[in-house]
Structure 1
Amino acid sequence: MTHSLDKNKIRFLLLEGVHDNALKVLKDAGYTNIEYLSHALDKDELIEKIADAHFVGIRSRTQLTREVLQHAKKLVAIGCFCIGTNQVDLDAARELGIPVFNAPYSNTRSVAELVLAETIMLYRGIPEKNAVVHRGGWGKSATNSHEVRGKTIGIVGYGSIGSQLSVLAENLGMKVIYHDVVTKLPLGNATQVASLDELLANADVVSLHVPDVPSTRYMMKAEQFIKMKEGSYFINAARGTCVEIDDLAAAIESGKILGAAVDVFPKEPKSAEEEFVSPLRKYDNVILTPHIGGSTQEAQANIGLEVAEKFVKYSDQGDTVTAVNFPHVTIPFKDGSHRLLHIHQNVPGVLSQVNSLFADAGINILAQNLMTEEDVGYLMMDIDSDYSDTALEVLRGIEATIRVRVLY
């Protein structure tokens, strides 16, 4: 009888100092072969380390390119211990039969709190006043200093972060309008507006909370900044690719925008030793933060739990329901069965071929779930335990097979 690897032989490579909660979840589930590093690896080191890893966990600095993934012959799954997955070639991972998991909700509160704090700081003119005092000045003045109560915040993207920001802002007495590409049920008294242009024209402060997709890349450039209210504020804690930074700098230089807060940038340093370069550095009325919107201890603890638990579910059960690049498949556990996972090219006839060959071999299928996504199909099957060896041989012999695993 062929079994999945013993848990102590399944190797986890965790990089960039992911939270200790991830280690606890894995160890509590019986996984002990864990290499934990506090930093990212350059390409050559990464290729060397990943060659023998079954699971790899990263944050935002590690780049899992197609070239790197081609060397990861044993890799079963990737975990991004963050919201974004831009650092992974998702297509290449899927083609190789590797699901990618992330933590899309664990740091929403942290980002929303930062944006709300920045809104208050901008309205009070704190960035400029702080800079002046640090240089020995004493700019005590109420000019351009306002309460946020009664002001209108325009939220672009009403997902998990945007909607939570909406609730917090309204609790401070702000009016909330939002724009999203789909109709979303508002929370509280927030109002959805029909277009981005309408939001820009009516918001006192604009905050972006959109994903990095083709339609959002450089969605804010000169044309959009011109449409914003005179003397308004702008915040981006979403994706660096959403904003044309030079155009934002020009809008601040002209006084059209009174201040801004930016946490993400089109090009970011790869390490703390590399200099951060941006035209926004010269403005005292701009808050610049190093991509830390979700970087709180609470958020990192939650992320560690969330992604590690997804690792365990996939390793133990084959569950891919939350994968970002892979068909979503799950089957409830059933005693007396063996579970097989068949990842294959998404071509016609694979399921028919599997069922026909199993019938010819006298293999009884107790449960079966197939889903496809683009060029990959993922088939999960529970079969009578007496036929696992035969079933594996059958699946491996199917031409479209990418990889086969037996879990138990």
Structure 2
Amino acid sequence: MTKLSLSKDKIQILLLEGIHDNAINELAARGYASVERLPHALDEAELLARIGSVHMLGIRSRTNLTAKVLEAASKLVTVGCFCIGTNQVDLKAARRLGVPVFNAPYSNTRSVAELVIGEIVMLMRGIFDKSNLVHKGGWMKSAKNSFEVRGKSLGIVGYGHIGTQVSILAEAMGMRVYYYDVVRKLALGNAQACDSLEELLGKSDVVTLHVPDTPQTRDMIGEREIRAMKKGSYLLNAARGKVVVIEALAAALKDGHLTGAAIDVFPKEPSGDNDPFESDLRGLSNVILTPHIGGSTLEAQANIGAEVAQKLIEYSDNGSTLGAVNFPEVALPVRVGATRFLHIHENKPGVMRRINDLFSTRNLNITAQYLQTDPELGYVVIDVDGDVDEGEVLADLKQVDGTLKTRFLYPGRRG
């Protein structure tokens, strides 16, 4: 059997920020043994010093993959974000360089939803302030500003996987649930859709945000929206830090328009545990501040470790890009016995003709071909039979005008 383009034991994998053991176990089970795991993030200078020898990189939310870093990653095949968000990666640069990026958009859904429900109860009972007082030796046994959640109205902005989980849990506790989403969504249980954000804000005792970080969602909850909320209501944000204008929120809490808030994400967050956290919300007794831990449970991290590692393995083993956030998605069946090439290229006329001509002139039979394109990128995986000189074919594929990245592999490999 012909040697692989790069055997699994030589594929260098770097995992940062204390990624869960499940990722190591999944990779090892499929034959990937050259794995280095670090408990912390690396800054740009450190990444530039390390990235040149890395084939697969795993990160969480603190590592920033800039275009400069990605351009220095001459051997990089793929990136795994072991978290929900991918805004810490320059996705356009990765795409331009032929590097698919994978994440775990659903694995911590339940963890975030449970935190939100717990914070709603704590806010409406004033637990945070009372607990701090008791810790200091005080005592405030009072029902003032303490409420049951039963019968109260919860407004959910963003009715996706997390929003719907929150909806189910809240309704089970007796809350009336309203939701607003820019995409029409089918209600679960007795939840009711609102036609506008303003409608939801005006009728909700508690508002919780579950939207992605996009140009449309940045600063979507500012002075006008906060003042449109019911007087005495509560605001929770476990979505993205730039969704809420913190200064406007702090002002509304100080003047009593809002009774309380719980914030897990912030516009600017410390780069490490030893860096100071600065915010206008610090010191406000009616605010629960948590350090971006919505998805930080052992269960969620275990699920994320397994899910993202599996996506990296599938791409490395057979070229599947299912779940990539910056790439055409292709789910590929394994074809035992064929030699598989993959080719990533600019989407322009003539590329596929040249690729097919390359194989036909070598009397290689194309037994299967999988092509997906978008306006900028083309991704094709080709299975061939015949007497294949992989090195020569690979060299020819690299010469095709518009090529971004190409390699060969054997889909029958199962570790």
Same fold (TM over 0.5): yes
Contact 1:331–1:368, Cα closer than 8 Å, also in 2: no
Match of 2:56 in 1: 55
What secondary structure, in the 3-state scheme, does the structure 2 residue paired with 1:279 have? coil
* TM-score, structure 2 as length reference: 0.96
CA deviation digits over 1:361-403, x for unaligned, max 9?
3322111111123422111111114235354243222111111
Distance 1:123 1:385, change over 3 A: farther
Q: Quick check: 176-185 or 382-391, which moved more?
A: 382-391
Gaps of 5+ in 1: none
Q: Quick check: 107-116 or 377-386, which moved more?
A: 377-386
CA deviation digits over 1:116-142, x for unaligned, max 9?
000000111112212322333212111
1:260 aligned onto 2:264: no
What secondary structure, in the 3-state scheme, does the structure 1 residue paired with 2:282 have? helix
1:166 aligned onto 2:167: yes
Match of 2:404 in 1: 402
What secondary structure, in the 3-state scheme, does the structure 1 residue paired with 2:312 have? helix
Contact 1:330–1:380, Cα closer than 8 Å, also in 2: no
Match of 2:84 in 1: 83
Task: State the distance in 1 between where 2:298 and 2:386 align.
Answer: 45
Alignment of 1:7-406 (within 5 A): 7-389=8-390, 391-406=393-408
What secondary structure, in the 3-state scheme, does the structure 1 residue paired with 2:328 have? coil
* TM-score, structure 1 as length reference: 0.97
What secondary structure, in the 3-state scheme, does the structure 2 residue paired with 1:56 have? strand
Contact 1:2–1:388, Cα closer than 8 Å, also in 2: no
Task: State the distance in 2 between where 1:305 and 1:241 align.
Answer: 29
Residue 50 of structure 1 deviates from its aligned partner by: 1.3
Task: State the distance in 1 between where 2:389 and 2:188 align.
Answer: 51
Task: State the distance in 2 between where 1:71 and 1:397 align.
Answer: 21
Match of 2:413 in 1: none
Task: State the distance in 1 between where 2:183 and 2:369 align.
Answer: 34
1:256 maps to amino acid: H
RMSD of aligned alpha carbons: 1.2
CA deviation digits over 1:62-114, x for unaligned, max 9?
11100111111000000011101111110000000000001111100000000
What secondary structure, in the 3-state scheme, does the structure 2 residue paired with 1:281 have? coil
What secondary structure, in the 3-state scheme, does the structure 2 residue paired with 1:216 have? coil
Q: Quick check: 349-358 or 141-150, which moved more?
A: 349-358
CA deviation digits over 1:263-285, x for unaligned, max 9?
00000011111110001012100
What secondary structure, in the 3-state scheme, does the structure 1 residue paired with 2:373 have? strand
Residue 46 of structure 1 deviates from its aligned partner by: 1.3
Q: Quick check: 395-404 or 49-58, which moved more?
A: 395-404
Residue 353 of structure 1 deviates from its aligned partner by: 2.5
Task: State the distance in 1 between where 2:92 and 2:384 align.
Answer: 31
2:76 maps to amino acid: L
Q: Quick check: 42-51 or 314-323, which moved more?
A: 42-51
2:409 maps to amino acid: L
2:357 maps to amino acid: S
What secondary structure, in the 3-state scheme, does the structure 2 residue paired with 1:118 have? helix
Q: How many residues align?
A: 408
Percent of aligned pairs sharing the same letter: 58
Task: State the distance in 1 between where 2:262 and 2:404 align.
Answer: 46
1:407 maps to amino acid: L
1:152 maps to amino acid: S
What secondary structure, in the 3-state scheme, does the structure 1 residue paired with 2:117 have? helix
Gaps of 5+ in 2: 411-415
CA deviation digits over 1:144-195, x for unaligned, max 9?
1110011111000011100111101111111111101111111111111111
Contact 2:153–2:176, Cα closer than 8 Å, also in 1: yes
